Structure 1
Amino acid sequence: MNEELITIKEAAARYGVSYDRLRRAAWDGRLETRGTGHARLVPPSEVERFLQAGRGKEAPELPLLRRQDGPLGRIMTVAILKGGTAKTTTTMNLGAAFAERGLRVLLIDNDHQCSLTRTLGIEPAELDPAHTLYGAMQTYMNSRKATLSDVIMSTKSGVDLVPAHIRLSRTDKELQLTSRREYVLQQLLAPVAPLYDIVLIDTMPTNNNLVFNALVAAHEVLIPLEPEPIAIEALALTLDEVQEVRDTGLNPGLRIAGVLLTQVDIRLVVHRDLMDNIRSDFGTELPVFETFIRRSPRFPESQARKQSIFQYDAAGAGATAYRALAEEISRGWQ
């Protein structure tokens, strides 16, 4: 016989736990449920599994993602035309989540603010500009030689990195004077991407040639979105830019992997309402990840220590959420 299904509120009462605890676990994928929104149902055995797992302090040991014919060679750009949406946090920790699953990961810091580079424990001011993304782009624009492999660095977070340099701020204007300027990053990645399973490109919150390059080079785009009214406007602008890349023929196959809700405070009514609205308004035409990332002091704490969330708090809710996101994304590749 099929196991009974109960509501999350009924499960909380039956097992004597907080309703909010179970609801948050359902939202970020730690508790498997059926249905959506307020109609989520869960079998009692799944609640028992979740509660039992929560008693442990160690991070879960997950199976490796399968690689059938060598590296996957996926390229994903993390982009939205707004700051403060956890683009860098997501690029770093999603990359670390994939690395934990046995994939070879390359991160590219495509932002002259160099936040990703610093977060991974590398000080841009101490780097030779020639050994950064800036240098590789300069070499290609001057000689059409792809030298990205020469600037790749390993990190303690288990991912490789193409670091940024503040001089990238000059590159946008220089690209404007370069023929086939939209394809520079694509050409740099051509010999490198096949060596990796996933390449993640961090971008700045600006509509410029560097961001356009990142969209042209990618197979797919991940859009991190905080549940705030002003962020919806930024989402619309980002979707327009993606459509422009498609319509102009620069990258007609560019797909949206999904919208990732970030910096969520489930206690706030405005966040809960906007999350439901985004899922209902965009869910049929625009993929919205079931996984979401809650606001947590663990993220800035880990970044202050130059660590991924997996190094800093491997068994915590933040690492759990990014594991769930990596799993959700990888299902779309199969």
Structure 2
Amino acid sequence: MAAKRNDVAELPGLDVPGTAEPKLGPTGRPLREFPVPAPLNGHGPARIIALCNQKGGVGKTTTTINLGASLAQYGRRVLAIDFDPQGALSAGLGINTHDLPTIYDLLLGSEKDTLSTIVETSTPGLDIIPANIDLSAAEVHLVNEVAREMILARVLRRVSDRYDVILIDCQPSLGLLTVNALTAAHGVLIPLECEFFALRGVALLIETIDKVRDRLNPAITLDGILPTMFDPRTLHSREVLERVVETFGDRVLESVIGRTVKFPDASVAGTPITTFAPEHAAAESYRRVARELVARGAVA
């Protein structure tokens, strides 16, 4: 009988007494551990990732801040681009944009030197090009420019060799600024709130990415969909996450960001949650996202 039990145990997918069941993560897939990334021998050229979703309040800025900080902790040089006129990324990293040159000045050409707009944050290895409300006028000024979709790509090309990753925090729309970000990017990360109305717009966003790939940027890829604001206590949250995985499969990251008051607390403090509450589960969740993106090859 012992020999028969051993034979059965070697067959995959059978529930045999004494064999361990794989632990499942929130996405319903086996929970894997991603290794700590190996140190880099040098820096650059950067891989540019646009964090994009036309719906507001899904965690784009929170993800840009904390993913950038996590990658910096793993030895990557990161440049964050505040590409939203609300300037939430700049505020969330404690940057006062008053009297500072911003991404708006670079887009319009009133500031030629990209390096002069880069500001160091309190997190070593994480820099930012800030933005403020002036950026809201950019689309009006750029509409008649030649190759207007390529302007951000030209701006970032000047500093790409100094960084390993450039993260672009896009505004919640699919206008000219977002098209600029998608044209400049090598990949797109879609933060997706685990809520029904957030799910509805993803197909339109992916259609926009496909159009940009066809017409402007053939190399752009979808690096992943990151579920955010997940609350395992609610059936709605669990059902939305299940539907996202059913629809998009492996394009959905295994890492999931839970809902917690620590994120707004960290934003008020003007610092990443990895610094504000480094031992909190939310901080570890973004470190896990960083490790998964490295494991997927989206980040060096």
Instruction: Provide TM-score, normalisation by structure 2.
Output: 0.88
What SS does structure 2 have at the residue aligned with 1:66? coil
Gaps of 5+ in 1: 9-22, 28-35, 47-61
User: Partner of 1:150 in structure 2?
Assistant: 116
Distance in 1 between residues matched to 2:201 and 2:161, nearest whole Å: 32
What corresponds to 1:82 in structure 2? 55
> In structure 2, how many angstroms separate the alpha carbons of the residues matched to 1:244 and 1:326?
28
- Residue 296 of structure 1 corresponds to which residue in structure 2? 260
In 2, distance between residues paired with 1:324 and 1:330? Answer: 10
Match for residue 161 of structure 1 among 128, 132, 141: 128
Alignment partner of 1:217 out of 184, 196, 218: 184
Alpha-carbon spacing, 1:193–1:41, altered in 2? closer, same or farther (3 Å): closer
Please state how far the C-alpha of 1:226 moved relative to its aligned partner.
0.8
Displacement of 1:64 = 5.1
Kindly report structure 1 stretches of 4+ aligned residues shifted beyond 2 Å. Answer: 1-4, 39-42, 62-72
Aligned positions of 1:222-301 closer than 5 A: 222-248=189-215, 250-283=216-249, 287-301=251-265
Letter matched to residue 212 of structure 1: V
Match of 2:99 among 127, 136, 139: 127
Secondary structure class of the residue paired with 1:222: strand
For 2:160 and 2:201, locate their aligned partners in 1 and report how far apart those are by CA, in whole Å. 29
Conserved 8 A contact 1:186-1:217: yes
Residue deviations 1:183-242, cap 9 Å, x none?
A: 000000112112101000001101211111000000000000011111122111111110
Amino acid at match of 1:6: E
Contact 1:5 1:41 in 2 (8 A): no
Counterpart CA distance in 1 for 2:275 and 2:259 is 18
Contact 2:85 2:136 (C-alpha < 8 Å) held by counterparts = yes
Of structures 1 and 2, the one scoring higher in RCO (CA 8 A, sep 6+) is 2
Q: Is 1:317 the equivalent of 2:281? A: yes
Does 2:146 align with 1:179?
Answer: yes
How far did residue 4 of structure 1 move?
3.4
In structure 2, runs of 5+ residues without a counterpart are 1-5, 11-17
Which residue of the partner structure matches residue 109 of structure 1?
Answer: 82
Change in 2 beyond 3 A, CA 1:41/1:161: closer
Q: How many residues align?
A: 281
Q: Is residue 4 of structure 1 aligned with residue 14 of structure 2?
A: no
Instruction: Indicate the SS of the match to 2:255.
Output: strand
Shift of 1:70: 3.5
Structure 2 distance, partners of 1:168, 1:69, is 33
Secondary structure (helix, strand or coil) at the match of 1:243 reads helix
Distance 1:190 1:99 in 2: 21
CA drift of 1:66 comes to 3.4
Counterpart amino acid of 2:223? A
State the superposition RMSD in angstroms: 2.2
* CA deviations over 1:234-277 (Å, ceiling 9, x no partner): 111111110110111x1011000000000011100011111111
CA distance in 2 between partners of 1:65 and 1:146 (Å) = 36
The one-letter amino acid paired with 2:266 is S
Aligned to 1:137: 107
- Residues 138-179 of structure 1, C-alpha deviations (whole Å, 9 max, x = no match): 11xx7xx85211100001023100000211111011111110
Counterpart amino acid of 1:153? V
Measured against aligned partners, the alpha-carbon deviations of 1:57-112 in whole angstroms (never above 9, x if no partner) come to: xxxxx855332454251100000110010000000000000000011110000011
1:73 aligned to 26, 46, 51, which one? Answer: 46
Instruction: Indicate conservation of the 8 Å contact 1:296/1:318, yes or no.
Output: yes
Deviations along 1:30-62, whole A, 9 cap, x unmatched?
xxxxxx72x7589xxx9xxxxxxxxxxxxxxx8
Distance 2:136 2:38 in 1: 37
| Partner SS, residue 200 of structure 1 | strand
Matching of residue 189 in structure 1 with residue 156 in structure 2 = yes
